[in-house]
Structure 1
Amino acid sequence: MTMYPLRLNGMKPSRPSRSYIKLIKHIALSTLWVGCAWLAVPSAKAQVLDEIIGNEPMLRVDTPLPARADYTTSVPPFARPEALFPRGFGMTDWLRKRGIAFLLDNTNEFAGAITPPTKSYPNSQHFARYKQGASNAGQYAASVNVNWEQLIGLRGFSTHSIIVGRYGTTANRMFGDWLNHASEDYGGGGNVVVHLVMAYGEETLFGGRLSIAAGRMSEMSDFQNSPLFCNFQNGSICGRPKAATDSSFTSGYPAAVWGGRIRGRPSRFLYMELGLYAGENGIYKNEQHRTGFKFNGGNINGFRLPYEMGWEPIFGKNHPGHYKIGGVLMTAPNPDNYYDVNGQPYALTHRRADLHHDGYGAWFMADQHLLNHYKDSKRGITALWGFLYNDKRIALREWEAYGGVIDRGLIRSRPFDTLGISFTYEKIAPGVQATETMMLDNAQYNRLPNHATGVQRHAAVLEVNYAIHVYRGVIFQPLMEYFFRPNGQGNLRDAALLGFKSHVEIF
């Protein structure tokens, strides 16, 4: 395919920031910010960010069977993270004795740019008037898990439901980035008081070795995910690596579709799972799923069939790891990012893009606890890394690679504080690059796809944070984010942000 030179109505685009000195200054400033916040907080013990409500389904995926040979439980126990009001004034204790687990939490995320954005051009049709600013976004979430065996005797049967309310906005769009949110808790919640995320039933058989679930489900809560991801705030990794939901038909928290999955454990440390999820058009748009309570199938136009196999070894003196590989096939119609229905570049012919009903994706993900601090297996260093690949005919991101380190309890007196560093890299599909180049060369186009103001090629996001355990059920996490090539564009300045994430487990 032919690639065209980049032109913006004769204007020379600004060069991307390549100054390592500036980056070092931003990291130093963020380190000072983290240090000052840490010094202001007394020592405490307990909960970590792995245990937020949105991670409940993932925790059930990533927990191997107990070592005891006599393990015969019908419904695996529900999570009970440390909370501000651990007994719920007696309410949560009363409910749990009857098989009902109720959790309520709040997550808030703030981010503010400390670098100026790319200057807008008064006569340009492509650049918005970007600004240097800050934003705040968050959500409150509640979950209800019911053990129906304990409640009325239905052996092995349980139900799981989560509702959220989201608020605020995200700072990345202020400097032109639409690929990765600076605050992950933005969007998808419908801007309503109550948004239904998921509601499904699960049957557990053979002492936990077989699990069958169906209902309103989020595919990304069971596949290509990890409870470690939201130890970070930026949307390139928190929630799930962004390439996982590159298709608008992929259901990721807080969106759900009709679906089901079967998970089997042939051995203690090995699982295999297969799912079938509806491809529902508009699951992230208010007109279709504003409240999440739209249950009819009128907008279903295909399906997604994910498969995943995971190995969960424990090496040496309690060094757990999780290694998973999987893939997905998709029949929902996705437009080609380069060709029209006649096999020609639609940027030149102005015809409708070709549709594909045979999309696919694949992934490998891993995390490994490497060493313990002070001979405590609950503390230490964990590394995580992975690679996701999408069908480049229909994807925006052809692939994404990520890596990170989570160091928990480095300081002896603060066993549950967590230092985190993550880096993600996203490669934009070649068809997207070629289409945008042609459109920029063609004066008839006033707007590019994907909110682009230049050719999208590749992007990266770095995050450094320190999660401080403030009090029982309360976490405060100062952080720095650095966006390389915002929106995947070389004509936008790099952006550095300082902010914080807070999490309060109420019940």
Structure 2
Amino acid sequence: MTKNTAALCAGKARLGWASLHPGGWRCTIRAALATTTMAMASLGLSLSTAQAQVMDNYLEAQPEIRVATPLPPKHDDTITVPPFITPQAVFPDGFGVLSWLRKRGVNYLLSNTNEFAGAITKPTKGFAEYKQGSSNAGQTAMSLDVNWEQIAGAQGFATHVITVGRYGTTANRMFGDWLNHASEDYGGGGNVVVHLVTAYGEETLFGGRLSVAVGRLGEMANFESSPLFCNFQNGSMCGRPKAATDNPYVSGYPGAVWGGRIRGRPQRFIYLQTGAYAAEEGIYGDAQHRTGFKYNGATIHGARVPFEAGWEPIFNDELPGHYKVGAVWMHAPTPDNCLSATGRPYALTGARPLMRKNTYSAWFMMDQQLVSHDHSQKRGLILMSGFLYNEGDVALRNWETYAALIDRGMFAGRPFDTFGIAFTYERMARGVQRTEALMLQGRHRAPYGFLPNHATGMQRHASVLEVNYAVHAARGFIIQPLFEYFIRPNGQGNLRNAALLGCKTMVEIF
């Protein structure tokens, strides 16, 4: 028998249904129109052009922003801590307290992101559990950065802590899609007030040419990352393309594990980085990781070692770009998505899946500003694209590709409003398809409810389209009406496409 390529374990624990908020399409349209009206009404509000808040300048993106920032043109080797980000906020000085702390090396930020989505199409007939409705999800995030060089004279040393509190649910499960969330701010946070995302120390040497970080880290905070991804709401794009976190051992936001990474910049526009992260079981489950304050190694089964090289040119002094290529090797037992230890499909034998070690993934990502508005590196038309590949024997998504356009300041009178359109395409592994085909053929023994990945039919490929417009409504406040379209939900041809209207808001409080 030919060896087939990959997917997640058929016996993977199912996620429980969260409380959903059903409602008709009329309610969804009214809600979307109301938020759009609010956005349009805000066009007349005053705008601070000096430090306007934008979707890709948010506190959870601090690690991504650091990766995407080249060295300054006039460089010296003085050891120093890179400046902390301070997004435009509703209360920028924190009533005098935060400005006093920042002068002394302590940076505290607090923000809220809320994401609404509702279906305007009816779900596929014949599935009693699917319904037409809307949902809301969000998070409150806190960041604390401390410059220990300024406080205690520890040259180049800083610490970073991020926590979140998440709430709500996501609409995609209402129409049967478990691959891509309609709202990215959902899950992994344990539905608690405080969930630890990261807590680590970072040493910067040689004027920023070398950076070393150790502690509770998320691998995806530095690798396969970009702050531009969360100009969108859907989970196939926001955070990072979903294929990047296809393996259950990958630590992506808001999950973190023990780890470390080292990044060097041999030249102003070039960086090389590598790291080692614990391959820990159940990162996104509630059993031990609900609050994120789990420090023991009882569920660590190996390590993940990524490598990435990046080139960050600035053409004509006004058109920045970011190009990166990388791969990750993982030494942790991961179930084959088709074969058992006997070499035959476990869908036929009923045996446990074959466990594989030494697996890998690889990626190429880029973004390039094509047009500059008013000769600005911050405003203009940006093209994003990329390709992610997972070893087919141990993945659900064999590969994924994406493309997006982001235009900030397309209207002269609205320099910080942002238009975005993104499309993602995911191809399921052949092993997944083989397993599901065998189970469907013998469905008297393996009914629909027992297919892997919450499938109700054959999973082959899936796509998600999103179009949005983010309005800088006031200082520290963004409102973003959006449209999402799910093609072949859950990768299945037996589920009808789904269209959603929604709205994402982001408020930087401090």
Contact kept, 8 Å, 2:32 with 2:501, in 1: the verdict is no
Task: Return 5+ residue gaps in structure 2 as ranges.
Answer: 5-28
Please give the secondary structure, in 2, of the residue aligned with 1:290: coil
TM-score, normalising length from structure 1? 0.92
Judged with a 3 Å threshold, the aligned counterparts in structure 2 of structure 1 residues 140 and 32 are, in CA distance, closer, same or farther, namely: closer
Please give the secondary structure, in 1, of the residue aligned with 2:220: helix
Q: Shift in Å at residue 29 of structure 1?
A: 12
Task: Return 5+ residue gaps in structure 1 as ranges.
Answer: 4-27, 121-126
Q: Which residue is 1:455 aligned to?
A: 458
Q: Which residue is 1:103 aligned to?
A: 109
Judged with a 3 Å threshold, the aligned counterparts in structure 2 of structure 1 residues 35 and 110 are, in CA distance, closer, same or farther, namely: closer
2:500 maps to 1:497: yes
Quote the Cα distance in structure 1 between the aligned partners of 2:153 and 2:102.
15
Q: Shift in Å at residue 373 of structure 1?
A: 1.9
Quote the Cα distance in structure 1 between the aligned partners of 2:364 and 2:252.
18
Contact kept, 8 Å, 1:30 with 1:480, in 2: the verdict is no
Q: Which residue is 1:151 aligned to?
A: 151
My pick for the range that moved more, 449-458 or 35-44, is: 35-44
Q: Which residue is 1:124 aligned to?
A: none
2:77 maps to 1:93: no
Q: Shift in Å at residue 40 of structure 1?
A: 1.6
TM-score, normalising length from structure 2? 0.91
Judged with a 3 Å threshold, the aligned counterparts in structure 2 of structure 1 residues 327 and 464 are, in CA distance, closer, same or farther, namely: same
Root-mean-square deviation (CA), in Å? 1.7
Contact kept, 8 Å, 2:232 with 2:238, in 1: the verdict is yes
Please give the secondary structure, in 1, of the residue aligned with 2:71: coil
Q: Shift in Å at residue 51 of structure 1?
A: 1.1
Contact kept, 8 Å, 1:214 with 1:259, in 2: the verdict is yes
Quote the Cα distance in structure 2 between the aligned partners of 1:187 and 1:177.
15
Q: Identify the match of residue 72 of structure 2 among 49, 52, 66.
A: 66
Contact kept, 8 Å, 1:37 with 1:478, in 2: the verdict is no
- CA deviations on 1:355-394 (whole Å, 9 max, x unpaired) are 0111100000000011112444431101100000001000
Please give the secondary structure, in 1, of the residue aligned with 2:293: coil
In the alignment of these two chains, the number of paired residues is 477
Q: Which residue is 2:311 aligned to?
A: 311
Quote the Cα distance in structure 2 between the aligned partners of 1:431 and 1:194.
39
Q: Shift in Å at residue 112 of structure 1?
A: 0.1
Q: Which residue is 1:10 aligned to?
A: none
Judged with a 3 Å threshold, the aligned counterparts in structure 2 of structure 1 residues 434 and 128 are, in CA distance, closer, same or farther, namely: farther
Quote the Cα distance in structure 1 between the aligned partners of 2:438 and 2:473.
53
My pick for the range that moved more, 439-448 or 71-80, is: 71-80
Quote the Cα distance in structure 1 between the aligned partners of 2:31 and 2:77.
47
2:244 maps to 1:241: no
- CA deviations on 1:48-80 (whole Å, 9 max, x unpaired) are 011112101100111000001336351101001
**Counterpart amino acid of residue 423 in structure 2:** F
Judged with a 3 Å threshold, the aligned counterparts in structure 2 of structure 1 residues 33 and 321 are, in CA distance, closer, same or farther, namely: farther
**Counterpart amino acid of residue 82 in structure 1:** Q
Contact kept, 8 Å, 1:119 with 1:129, in 2: the verdict is no
Please give the secondary structure, in 2, of the residue aligned with 1:412: coil
Judged with a 3 Å threshold, the aligned counterparts in structure 2 of structure 1 residues 502 and 35 are, in CA distance, closer, same or farther, namely: closer
**Counterpart amino acid of residue 354 in structure 1:** L
Q: Which residue is 1:397 aligned to?
A: 397
Q: Which residue is 1:40 aligned to?
A: 41
Please give the secondary structure, in 2, of the residue aligned with 1:288: coil
Runs of 4 or more consecutive aligned structure 1 residues displaced over 4 Å after TM superposition: 28-38
Contact kept, 8 Å, 2:403 with 2:422, in 1: the verdict is yes
Q: Percent identity?
A: 64
Q: Shift in Å at residue 311 of structure 1?
A: 0.3
2:480 maps to 1:474: no
Judged with a 3 Å threshold, the aligned counterparts in structure 2 of structure 1 residues 29 and 241 are, in CA distance, closer, same or farther, namely: farther
Q: Shift in Å at residue 36 of structure 1?
A: 4.5
- CA deviations on 1:260-279 (whole Å, 9 max, x unpaired) are 00000001000000010001
My pick for the range that moved more, 369-378 or 265-274, is: 369-378
Q: Report 1:175-324 matches (<5 A).
A: 175-324=175-324
Please give the secondary structure, in 2, of the residue aligned with 1:49: coil
